[in-house]
């Protein structure tokens, strides 16, 4: 855990607040790469994941928080209560959305999804990699980092709906072309739909969810199964109304948790045996189908009667 101070707080567009964080001890904060996020422990008792943005060479961290009308507490606290000089605890950066080597890059952002992609654009520019950033906003006033983006070649802010504009902005799949996508669930769904129609496959389209996947029909948590620890052989039933993480904690097992909604990756644990019923939105479909799988203990369940995990 890192102890940081809110060093600056300013408006980015009419819907977001940028927050600069510096280390309390005055040292440089740990290095990070675009796509990384930190868990921010807010004094109102909630922990929220925010992407780091801006230039990754900076010694401070920059996050940008959109004002959500249906805030569950985090965005409201940042917008209404957080003040410069305030002390916060944050995790070290974790990157589940890394920028890989690619010949050409397409960045597609909607709303507050700009935060990781703005950092990617700066890095691609510095590395001399060919890229285009399409940033969709409802109106120009709501765009974050608008001034910086307008000075950056290849970054275009659109006020047209991505529903219609994507058909023009998302080309057919090409070797060497990779896309990174971030925004609300509906936007990402639309991108995936257009991309699939244009021949893109999962390995070239990288996305990060900011919202948990909608629960399965009826919202039920599923059948009862057993979770077993590979290290000790201890096993416990996981009832339909509890998560694997809750059952483990009740039995004294330390489980790293953060979002508890399947969107941050803190609780991902390797699976030794069993068939996971994946319910997180952190992992890609390829990762969920790989031989070496990980299970999100906070939300996923099991299709097999027993799940053996590497704890
Ligand atoms: S705690 Fe965030 S994915 Fe499980």
Q: What is the mean pLDDT of the chain?
A: 90
* Ligand 1 center–CA 6 separation, angstroms: 25
Q: What is the pLDDT of residue 217?
A: 39
What's this model's pTM, rounded to 2 decimal places? 0.73
Instruction: Give the atom of ligand 1 at the shortest distance from the alpha carbon of 264.
Output: 2
Cβ of 248: how many Cβ atoms within 10 Å?
A: 24
| Residue 104 bridge partners (DSSP) | 130, 177
% of residues, the chain, pLDDT over 90 = 67
Token couple for 293 = 């799988």
Atom of ligand 1 nearest to the CA of 259: 2
* pLDDT, tens digit (0-9, with 9 covering 90-100), for 40-58: 999 888 888 899 999 999 9
Query: Which candidate, 63, 184, 71, places its Cα nearest to that of 115?
Result: 63
CB neighbour list of residue 258: distance below 8 Å, 6 or more residues apart: 39, 47, 49, 91, 264, 266, 267
* Mean pLDDT for the stretch of residues 123-139: 94
Instruction: Tell me the β-bridge partners of 155.
Output: 133
State pLDDT tens for residues 248-280: 999 999 998 877 777 778 899 999 999 999 988
In this predicted model, which residue has the larger pLDDT, 222 or 181? 181
In terms of Cα–Cα distance, which of 97, 46, 96 is closest to 75? Answer: 46
CB 302 within 8 Å of CB 225: yes
Tell me the best of 37, 38, 261 to mutate to test the pocket of ligand 1, counting ligand atoms within 8 Å of each CB and taking the most: 261
Which of 48, 94, 243, 265 is the pocket-test mutation for ligand 1 (most atoms within 8 Å of CB)?
265
The binding-site residues of ligand 1, defined as CB within 6 angstroms of any ligand atom, are: 257-260, 262-267, 280, 282, 296, 298
Distance 140 CA to ligand 1 centre (A): 34
- Answer with the residue of higher pLDDT: 217 or 135: 135
pLDDT (0 to 100) of residue 93: 94
Flag whether pLDDT at 20 surpasses 90.
yes
Read off the pLDDT of each residue in 226-236 and give the average, rounded to a whole number.
Answer: 95
Cα(258) to centroid of ligand 1, in Å?
5
239 pLDDT more than 70: yes
Pocket test for ligand 1, best of 257, 278, 283 (most atoms within 8 A of CB): 257
CA of 26 to the centre of ligand 1 (A): 30
Residue 256 CA, closest ligand 1 atom number: 1
Looking at residue 160, its pLDDT comes to 87
pLDDT at 220 over 60: no
Tokens of 237: 């039933």
What's the gap in Å between 204 CA and the centre of ligand 1? 25
Give the tokens for residue 308: 């053996």
Concatenating the DSSP letter of every residue in 207-268 gives EEESSPPPPPGGG-----EEEEETTT--EEEE-TTS-HHHHHHHTT-----SSSSSSS-TTE
Least confident of 89-93, 116-120, 236-240, 261-265: 261-265
Is residue 38's pLDDT more than 90? Answer: yes
Task: Give 276-279 contacts, CB < 8 A, sequence gap 24+.
Answer: 276/300, 276/301, 276/302, 276/303, 276/307, 277/222, 277/301, 277/302, 277/303, 279/213, 279/215, 279/216
Please tell me the distance between residue 188's alpha carbon and the centre of ligand 1 in angstroms: 20
- Ligand 1 atom with least separation from CA of 262: 3
Question: Mean pLDDT over residues 11-34, rounded?
Answer: 96
Expressed in angstroms and rounded, the spacing between residue 257 Cα and the centre of ligand 1 is 6
Q: Give the residue whose CA is nearest to atom 3 of ligand 1.
A: 262
Least trusted range by pLDDT, from 149-158, 200-209, 228-237, 302-311: 200-209
């Amino acid at each position: 855990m890192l102890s940081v101070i809110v060093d600056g707080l300013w408006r980015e567009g009419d819907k977001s607040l940028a927050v600069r964080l510096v280390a309390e001890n005055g040292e440089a904060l740990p290095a990070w790469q675009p796509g990384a996020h930190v868990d921010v422990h807010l004094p109102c008792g909630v922990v929220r994941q925010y992407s780091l943005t801006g230039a990754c060479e900076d010694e401070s961290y920059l996050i940008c928080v959109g004002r959500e009308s249906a805030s569950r507490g985090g965005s409201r606290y940042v917008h209404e209560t957080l003040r410069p000089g305030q002390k916060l605890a944050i995790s070290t950066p974790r990157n589940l959305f890394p920028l890989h080597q690619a010949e050409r890059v397409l960045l597609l952002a909607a709303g507050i999804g700009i935060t990781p992609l703005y950092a990617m654009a700066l890095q691609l520019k510095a590395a001399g990699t060919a890229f285009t950033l399409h940033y969709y906003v409802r109106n120009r006033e709501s765009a974050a980092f608008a001034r910086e983006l307008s000075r950056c070649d290849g970054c275009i802010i659109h006020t047209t709906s991505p529903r219609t504009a994507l058909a023009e902005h998302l080309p057919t799949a090409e070797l060497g072309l990779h896309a990174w996508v971030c925004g609300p669930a509906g936007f990402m769904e639309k991108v995936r739909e257009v991309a699939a129609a244009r021949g893109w496959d999962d390995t070239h389209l990288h996305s990060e969810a900011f919202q948990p996947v909608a629960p399965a029909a009826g919202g039920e948590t599923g059948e009862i199964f057993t979770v077993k620890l590979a290290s000790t052989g201890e096993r416990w039933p996981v009832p339909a109304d509890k998560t694997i993480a809750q059952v483990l904690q009740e039995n004294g097992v330390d489980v790293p948790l953060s979002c508890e909604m399947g969107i941050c990756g803190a609780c991902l644990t390797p699976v030794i045996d069993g068939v996971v019923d994946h319910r997180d939105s952190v992992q890609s479909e390829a990762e969920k189908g790989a031989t070496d799988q990980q299970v999100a203990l906070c939300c996923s369940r099991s299709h097999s009667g027993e799940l053996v995990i590497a704890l």
